A and B are shown apart, each in its own frame.
Chain A
Amino acid sequence: MSEASQLIEVRDLVVRFPIRDHGKRTVIQPVDHVSFGIRPGEVLALVGESGSGKSTIARTLLRIVTPSAGSILFDGQDVTRVKGRALAQYRRNVQMVFQDPFSSLNPARTIEAHLSYPLRKHHRLRGKELGDRIDELLERVGLTPTKDIRLKYPHELSGGQRQRVAIARALAVSPRFLVADEPISMLDVSIRAGVLKLMDDLRAAFNLAYLYITHDLASARYFGDRIMVLYGGRVMETAPSDDLIRNPSHPYTRLLLAATPGSGHRGKLPETSNRAPNLAADRKGCPFAERCPLATSECHEVEPPVVAVTPEHTVACHHVTS
């Protein structure tokens, strides 16, 4: 990966939260030294189960959560701690689409109002120019006739249509990078493909880069150029999508694949327990060791190094050698 070509680059990102566990103050680390880069027009799919830290990474990229350590570079600029005007500038380039299109839109505002706010605020559009741009955005996401859609309220639209509005709103500020956090998981099956295809079209049309967060390997393979598998806040494996599905190297990736409907896996799952990952900031070794059928004492003690199986395929596991 040549560094210069990255649109967004995350280096050694760490997020810690203080929590109370049975009344005792302790610190959890839902994002544990995560690094990755995404090129313009590229889709990186981030796959993991609940508690793996994928949504925390999303919120950190949008600067809703401030990282505890590490850095975020956008177009070569360090945006890890920028404030005020520079932060507003960054957020014009980075937008988010949320999982739940029922709660991410304001029920008391028309669709037009949802789109005109960012256009007025960020692009200072008014009058006819504003109206034209709203029509253009709605057409772009396949919501026609725009004249009718503009005056509707969210409750008058279906889940798929609402998610299209959320995408149009994200596009309003002409971003270069979209973070999509489980954008199709609450939609009906017959609607999901259409929304995924729309996101794919937008990537091509605007050279948009995506961080596509999902728990579903099948849709990650469909939409992602590369897949990054996360467990307990750490990156387990990263590879081009087809390569990851065909040649999974990490025991956790293999478990996830075996458990996914349509995998053809029969019989027992390759895991030794179903415990949730330990997120404590002071944990040792590999977070998956507790469930891993290959775990040795080394796995419980020593953090596995990241090994490159091929230049594009990296794995963090003591049992994988390059």
Chain B
Amino acid sequence: MPHNHNALRRPVLEIEDLSVGYETPNSLVHAVSDVNLTVHEQEILGLVGESGSGKSTLAFAVMRLLKGDAVVTKGRVRVAGQDVYALTPAELRSFRWKKMSMVFQSAMNALNPVMTVETQIVDTLLAHQPDWSRERALARARELLELVRIDAKHLKSYPHELSGGMRQRVVIAIAIALQPDLVIMDEPTTALDVVVQRSILDEIREIQQREKFAILFISHDFSLVAELASRVAIMYAGRIVEVTDSETLADGYRHHPYTEGLIRAIPHLTAEQVVIEGIPGNPPNLMELPSGCAFHPRCPYATEECRQARPPQYPSEHGLIECHLFKPQREAQHV
């Protein structure tokens, strides 16, 4: 759907000017810089980036799960209107799961190996709904498993008795158990086979439409995100370099040179032409970011300006683009 439809929808996640840094002995290394992003109710927003682009750090910052040396250096995160960083630890505990939850990449690590599926779901429910009876929680657990298409007999199973796909379905069931407004999914299907991946994505879409929560879907897989999400944000070296409607990722639209490179780098399954082209160079080291636009050493269109100054965000036809080439003026070069 075009992004202007979102003007009518309530924002569920609002990230404003967020920066997250890791403290090292000598300096503060920014993994997320000046990020602005909004996810509206019932929307699936895809967040695409390579390893080290900061997409998982961003997700952890939203969940207020940053650990160790990672600190939010500026900006704000609001979920369902509430500033996540203004909550007390006790409030935060109930806020997570009830308002926002997260599905991690590795389902094996997200589940406790010595507890049955039943115990894990029922405990989560009772921790957040102390007035519920055990029977009521168990009934909800059954309902949740049915929602993710797992036979209720697996309530008695331990995680190791389930296949990878089933484990990831259980994790999704727990994430939506308390009907949160926002679910963050960090590469939820990356470790799975294509067929299982596809059926889980179909289920996610179906449950999302029924339960009406918003999803921030993080992935490195461009074609997968383009199919699932209505809008896509592209992250490079800690910055959101483009936000666009996912249908523009097909041919014929102008994009950020990095997005353009990604589109060219993927072999397409059914296209007539099967020429692919990699992006030269490597993703940057966050400790020694290039000057100006961090993508300039790999960019075929880079000019002196790109080497000197970081580009501001310009509005594009379908979202935002952070690139000097998109300066709205006559002499701007054509891509």
Contacts from A to B (Cβ < 8 Å):
49-50, 158-161, 188-197, 215-219, 221-222, 245, 255-264, 268-269, 271, 274, 276
Pairwise interchain contact B267-A189, C-beta atoms closer than 8 A: no
Interface flags for B228-268 (1: CB within 8 Å of A; 0: not) read 00000000000000000000000000000000011011111
- Nearest residue, chain B, Cβ from A264: B270
Taking a contact as CB atoms under 8 Å apart, the answer to whether B278 and A193 are in contact is yes
Contact of A269 among B198, B222, B264 (CB under 8 A): B198
Other A-B pairs, 7, CB within 8 Å; known A259-B199, A261-B269 = A159-B51, A191-B278, A193-B265, A193-B278, A221-B267, A261-B227, A262-B269
B278 to chain A, nearest CB (A): 3
Residues of A within 8 A of B262 (CB): 189-190
Contacts of A188 in B (CB 8 A): 50-51, 220, 283
**Is there an interface contact between B195 and A256, defined as CB atoms closer than 8 Å?**
yes
Q: B258's closest neighbor in chain A, by CB?
A: A190
**Across the interface, which residues of A come within 8 angstroms of B223, CB to CB?**
218, 261-262
Instruction: Sample 5 A-B pairs with CB under 8 A, ordered by A number.
Output: A191-B279, A193-B278, A215-B194, A222-B267, A262-B269
CB contacts under 8 Å to A, within B176-215, are: 193-199, 202
Report how far A49 CA is from B191 CA in the complex, Å. Answer: 11
Residues of B within 8 A of A161 (CB): 282
Q: Which residues of chain B come closer than 8 Å to A194, judged between CB atoms?
A: 278-280
User: Are B194 and A262 touching (Cβ within 8 A)?
Assistant: no
CB–CB B276/A222 < 8 A: yes
CB distance from B297 to the nearest CB of A (A): 13
Checking B193, B196, B267, B279 against A190 with a beta-carbon cut-off of 8 angstroms, the contacting residue is: B279
Chain B residue nearest to A223 in the complex (CB): B267
- Chain B residues within 8 Å of A, Cβ to Cβ: 50-51, 163, 165, 193-199, 202, 220-224, 226-227, 261-262, 264-270, 274, 276-280, 282-283, 298
Q: Decide if A276 touches B227 in the complex (CB within 8 Å).
A: no
Q: A259-B194, A262-B268 are in contact. Are A221 and B276 (CB under 8 A)?
A: no
Most buried by B among A160, A216, A256, A261: A261
CB contacts (< 8 Å) of A193 on chain B: these are 264-267, 276-279
Asked if A217 and B278 sit within 8 Å, CB to CB, the answer is no
Known contacts A188-B50, A221-B267, A260 near B194 by CB under 8 Å: yes
Query: Closest 9 A-B residue pairs measured CB to CB?
Result: A194-B278, A193-B278, A259-B198, A222-B267, A49-B193, A190-B279, A261-B223, A188-B50, A193-B265
Which one, A189, A222, A271, A276, contacts B163 given CB within 8 A?
Answer: A276
Q: How far is the CA of A322 from the CA of B268 in the complex (A)?
A: 29
Expressed in whole angstroms, the minimum distance between the Cβ of B163 and any Cβ of chain A is: 6
The smallest beta-carbon distance between B83 and chain A, in angstroms, is: 34
CB pair B221 A261 closer than 8 Å: yes
A190 touches B283 (CB 8 A): yes
Asked if residues A269 and B202 are in contact (CB atoms below 8 Å), the reply is yes
For A268, what are the chain B residues with a Cβ–Cβ distance below 8 Å? 202
Contacts A188-B283, A189-B220; is A215 near B193 (CB within 8 Å)?
yes
Are B270 and A49 in touch, CB under 8 angstroms?
Answer: no
Interface pair A190/B261, CB less than 8 Å apart: yes
**For residue A47, which residue of chain B has the nearest CB?**
B194
B269 CB contact (under 8 Å) in A189, A221, A269: A221
Query: How far, in Å, is A258 (CB) from chain B's closest CB?
Result: 7
- Please indicate the chain B residues that have their CB under 8 angstroms from the CB of A158 in the complex: 282-283
Contact of A189 (CB < 8 Å), options: B50, B198, B274: B50
* Interchain CB contact (< 8 A) of A263 among B197, B266, B270: B270
Please, which residues of chain A bring their CB within 8 A of the CB of B298? 190
Q: A260 contacts which chain B residues (CB < 8 A)?
A: 194, 198, 269
Contact of B224 among A159, A191, A255, A261 (CB under 8 A): A261
With both beta carbons as reference points, the residue of chain B lying nearest to A216 in the complex is identified as B194
The docked-state distance in angstroms from the alpha carbon of A173 to that of B269 is 34
**Across the interface, which residues of A come within 8 angstroms of B277, CB to CB?**
193, 197
A287 to chain B, nearest CB (A): 14
The verdict on A258 contacting B198 (CB below 8 Å), with A158-B283, A219-B267 known, is yes
Chain B min CB distance to A79 (Å)? 32
For residue B202, which residues in chain A have a CB less than 8 angstroms away from its CB? 268-269
A262 to B224, CA, bound (A): 7
A261 CA / B264 CA spacing, docked (Å): 16
Rounded to whole angstroms, the CA-CA distance of A193 and B279 in the bound complex is 8
Is the CB–CB distance between B267 and A271 below 8 Å?
no
For the complex, what is the distance from the CA of A43 to the CA of B226, rounded to whole Å? 30
Q: Is the CB of B269 within 8 A of A245?
A: yes
- Closest-by-CB residue of B relative to A219 is B267
A217 to B270, alpha carbons, bound, how many Å? Answer: 10
Most chain A CB inside 10 Å of its own CB: which residue of B51, B268, B278: B278
Residues in chain A near residue B197, CB distance under 8 A = 259
Indicate if the CB atoms of A189 and B266 lie closer than 8 Å: yes
Distance between Cα atoms of A229 and B131 in the complex (Å) = 54
CA distance A264 to B51 in the complex (A): 27
A209 to B198 CA separation, bound complex (whole angstroms) = 32
Q: Which of A190, A222, A245 has the most CB of B within 10 A?
A: A190
- Chain B residues, Cβ within 8 Å of A217: 194, 269
**Which residues of chain B come closer than 8 Å to A271, judged between CB atoms?**
195
Once the chains are docked, how many angstroms separate the CA of A281 from the CA of B67?
49
Closest A residue to B50 by CB, please name it.
A188
Asked if A192 meets B195 with Cβ closer than 8 Å, knowing A221-B274, A263-B270, the reply is: no
Q: How far is the CA of A158 from the CA of B281 in the complex (A)?
A: 10
Which residues from A are CB-within-8-Å of B278? 190-195, 197
* Chain B residue at minimal CB-CB distance from A252: B195
